[in-house]
Amino acid sequence: MKTYLVQDYVNAVEAIASFSLAESWDNPGLLVGSGHQPVRRALVALDATPAVIQEAREKGADLVVTHHPIIFEKLGKIPAESPVYQAIQKGVAVLSAHTNLDTAKGGVNDALAARLGLKEVSLLEKTRSVFWKKVIVYVPTTHAETVYEAMTQAGAGRQGNYAGAAFLAPGEGRFIPLEGANPFLGEVGALEKAEELRLEMLVRPECVDAVILAMRKAHPYEEPAYDILDTQAFSTSEGMARVGYLEQSMSPDAFAAYVKERLMVGGVKYVPGTKAIQKVAVCGGSGGSYLARAAAVGAQALVTADVKHGQLLEAARLGITLVDAGHYATESVVLPVLLKQLQKALPDADIQMAASCADPAKYLAG
């Protein structure tokens, strides 16, 4: 197994579910610990509960990656029984990916849709559009292909069904190396003229940092000249909830039983709608507010959690099946997905699912 740093895990989560996707009220990120801390083993859990922190200590884990932030609201005090105190005391770092993981492609809601077997999954509602960036770098002709390849591998130039899309134009670069410089070309104090190419590539916002890092590593100059420009040409639509289709339609009662079985939960609360179900909206966690939108796009059902009484009444009025499958069940589906994504991003890292990560609720059959 390979020992990584906490910061390597932060970078991996950023690539999986960019922190820029988080809602303004949220608090994801590295909440306990230092990025310089070595990680011999990491655990993945929905929450950093005292039991999870204790398990991390017993298993020699230095990091817990959670969905729910261990610190969410302002802390007036940190009592000894709190998870924050115990994590600090035991030297366990805690990294959280919350609403950024809800929104990210392949995150909580895509995992929930996949668990329910939905096809043709798309955004239920677009909450914002994020415009891409154009990265322009000036590179000597001798190293243009090397820099281009590095930027492409880091995610630049991906447009629709195309990769490596770029524009290159020749020109002349000029610079004077100053005292203390160690120039790739030219001499200190003398004007240098170089044949260069202007390399332009579109970059998704979440890939910009990785692209710039890759470019700088591949570029021969000590101080590469580059620009990062806003562009209105391409944008990425973002939103939390998803909508998709069942392979076969079901009655409301059969669908509720299907959700219970697929999510392996002790019970579900639901309002049966008036129509057979094939188009289904989903939102892990507290997503009852998406009820009207689900009905507006023609979904016959919404699967979510933490549904309020008024939302149950509204579902009955709209004739849409509303299934409350519990907060834990609708979000824990992402944990095995996140585990695989982290293992892929950090080869040979020792990352495990926390055995003590469990639904705190008990279900009594009626």
Q: What pLDDT is recorded for position 232?
A: 83
- Average pLDDT of 99-115? 97
Q: 265 in helix, strand or coil?
A: coil
CA atoms within 13 A on the CB side of 100: 22
pLDDT in tens, 64-106: 999 999 999 888 999 999 999 999 999 999 999 999 999 999 9
Q: Tell me, yes or no, if the pTM score tops 0.85.
A: no
Checking phi first, is residue 180 left (phi over 0); if not, alpha (psi -120 to 50) or beta? left
The H helix count followed by the E strand count for the chain is 12, 17
Residue 229 has pLDDT above 80, yes or no: yes
Q: What DSSP letter does each residue of 116-184 carry, written as one string?
A: TT-EEEEESS--EEEEEEEEEEEEEGGGHHHHHHHHHHTTTT-BTTB-S--EEEEEEEEE-PPTT---S
- Beta-carbon contacts of residue 73 (< 8 Å; ≥ 6 apart): none
Q: What pLDDT is recorded for position 20?
A: 87
pLDDT in tens, 176-208: 999 999 999 999 999 999 999 999 999 988 789
Residue 160 has pLDDT above 90, yes or no: no
- Average pLDDT of 197-222? 94
- Beta-carbon contacts of residue 158 (< 8 Å; ≥ 6 apart): 165, 204
pLDDT in tens, 21-66: 999 999 999 999 999 999 999 999 999 999 999 999 999 999 999 9
Q: What pLDDT is recorded for position 366?
A: 65
- Average pLDDT of 232-239? 84
Q: In this predicted model, which residue has the larger pLDDT, 248 or 234? A: 248
Q: What pLDDT is recorded for position 129?
A: 79
- The CA distance from 210 to 214, in Å, is 6
Q: What pLDDT is recorded for position 237?
A: 82
Residue 344's alpha-carbon distances to 13, 44, 117, in angstroms, are 12, 14, 24
- Beta-carbon contacts of residue 76 (< 8 Å; ≥ 6 apart): none
Task: Quote the percentage of the chain above a pLDDT of 90.
Answer: 89
Q: What pLDDT is recorded for position 22?
A: 93
Q: In this predicted model, which residue has the larger pLDDT, 1 or 25? A: 25
Residue 365 has pLDDT above 80, yes or no: no
Find the length of the chain.
Answer: 366
pLDDT in tens, 277-325: 999 999 999 999 999 999 999 999 999 999 999 999 999 999 999 999 9
**Which domains does the chain possess?**
4-98+333-353 (3.40.1390.30), 108-127+240-325 (3.40.1390.30), 129-238 (3.30.70.120)
Which pair of structure tokens corresponds to residue 75? 């802390």
Mean residue pLDDT across the chain: 95
pLDDT in tens, 326-360: 999 999 999 999 999 999 999 999 999 999 998 99
- Decide: residue 151, CB within 10 A, 0-12 exposed, 13-18 middle, 19+ buried: buried
Give residue for tokens 């000894």.
80
Task: Quote the percentage of the chain above a pLDDT of 70.
Answer: 100
Q: Which helix (H) or strand (E) holds 11?
A: helix 6-16
